[in-house]
Structure 1
Amino acid sequence: MKLIKLFLLLLPILLTAKESTVEQLFNVQTIKAKSIQTSHTKKAYAYVKPDDERVYHVTPRYSGFVIKVHANKIYQYVKKGEPLVTLYSPEVYKAKEEYINSYNYTKGRDNKGMLESAKLKLQLLGISNKEIKSLLKSKTVSQNTTIYSPVSGYIFIKNITNGSAFNAKSMLYEIVNLDKVWLEAKIFEEDISWIKNANSFEVAFKSTNKLYTTNKMFLYPNLDPKEASVTMRLVLNNKEHQLFPGMYATIIIKDKKQTYLTLPSTAVIRKNATHYVFISGEYEGEYEPKEVHVKALNNETYIIVDGLTEGDEVVNNALFMMDSDAQINGLY
């Protein structure tokens, strides 16, 4: 068996011939492989997107003309029920008249079918129940109709101004509620099986000192062949509205705590795509290279998958073993 022999008491001739090598070898330190219980961590980078379920389009089911724009600024925050725009629509005006006429006709009659039909027509046009009740109470048909915000949020798109005309199905506003947002990150194919077991995601942003945590994760079932990656989506609570679409984030991903056999990264050397450690030999000062299979736990620690058992003693500063004698002798 080929061994790298370190003699604590070297012959004078060796001290003379290899003074620099001996000085290096005196620095050899050893450490034992040990089991620890910890989470496997990985880092990813992501950006904020609106939650699709919280994006609302204000799209009338009728054509008309804009009388007054109440929410008139892009990125303006509006509350649910707040007026957005007052408009005139011949179709809506006619439906309102039919409703009042139906009410007057059926008043005092048992058959209310005509009235219900006229009310349904208004509802199908998207007229709010609030406005229908107000119409019935006042018995007066207003030429104008007001559209109210269906949700609290920010106006991301505004396609109208005072005096604008619009057709049915035209999107007047896009309103985005940011109480919850999505984070999207690229995950490489080799990490897919691992990340399915991840249960902790810590998210940090440069714009705030707050550390966000979540366990709501979804992997898109679509692999990008150019990058060999899939998209991971996280959901973050954002009640304080400190996060906005386009912001970049750093994600620390952790899986469930497991027991791993570990060594510090300084104890492992990679050569020709193979990892080695130097294990203590039979005699003091003797070491031999041994192939091991490892995975990175973090930047400072390797998981020993195969090749060592707990308590095996290896050289901690393995780089010192990469001296000329070891290479000339072909030990690894």
Structure 2
Amino acid sequence: MVKAVVCGAAGGIGQPLSLLLKLNPIVTELALYDVVNAVGVAADLSHIASPAQVTGYLASQPDADKAFQGADIVVIPAGVPRKPGMTRDDLFVNAGICNTLANSIAKNAPNAFVLVISNPVNSTVPVFAEAFKKAGTYDPKKLFGVSHLDVVRASTFAATAIGKPGDADKYSIPVVGGHSGATILPLLSQAKPAIPEILNDKEKRDALVNRIQFGGDEVVKAKDGAGSATLSMAQAGVEFTNHVLDAVFGGKKGKIVQSYIDLGAEAGGEGIKKEIGSDLAFFSVNIELGPAGIEKILPIGQIDDAEKALLEAAVKELGPSIEKGVSFQPAPPKL
């Protein structure tokens, strides 16, 4: 019996994410939570023949806490979407929403695994960490910043760049660092299978790195004010969520993914700090999933000179973003 909660379930990411999560046979209860329309989305999804029983809750309802009670995993795409001209960092307005949700989770589901999609992830994950610390419920092994769309994009864009777009699912490219612009570090030198046609052509390589780092801008521009990367983010978010569900509740071992996490979650985090030459508290790294969530933090490994320069830039930009989340002070409640 696994209860999953989607916060922001009526939004552009939340609806397709909830649909895809409804199809996972591990999930037996799916609670949808939002400020509007969650009840209607739940009614719609409840007609689908899969094990998960769906309920919807509005934040304004007196019994809204029921959405979180007994939750095993909470996925959070809630917040304001990007518009043309905005960076992910411009979305720090979402910090207040994240803090409120963190308090509800701490109160009603203190042992839940929490997957944060709400941007800017580089800052919102620290917001969650600080809120859980204040509530006395923080387990860094259970808090994940979902940077998986960068991994999906890296494979898709690399395959396209070498003229094999139909083989995108055959390529694996780790992406570390953060989840915004220059903090996104695709490790093209570690691609499997190798992509020498990209690595040996500086112009192609620079173009590919830029597209991976700023792929979200493509979608925002193409949608012309009508939204951001919702469908691809929903697919990537559910793919990552399914990996966590498989490891924690499905008994599958040895799955390695990348996620933006607290480097204090496991001893391997100290090794990461040495690799990046910084004492950053949060970083997207290779992790091995298991029943506890983050079982191991794995090394970044060997990178080439071009990636070392990108790493330096990522570390420099991440510091202020992390501090912004750590030092966030929610507005006092209105009297």
Class of the TM-score when normalised by the shorter of the 2 chains: under 0.3
Instruction: Identify, as 1 or 2, the structure richer in helix.
Output: 2
TM-score by length of 2: 0.16
Instruction: Identify, as 1 or 2, the structure richer in strand.
Output: 1
Greater gyration radius: 1
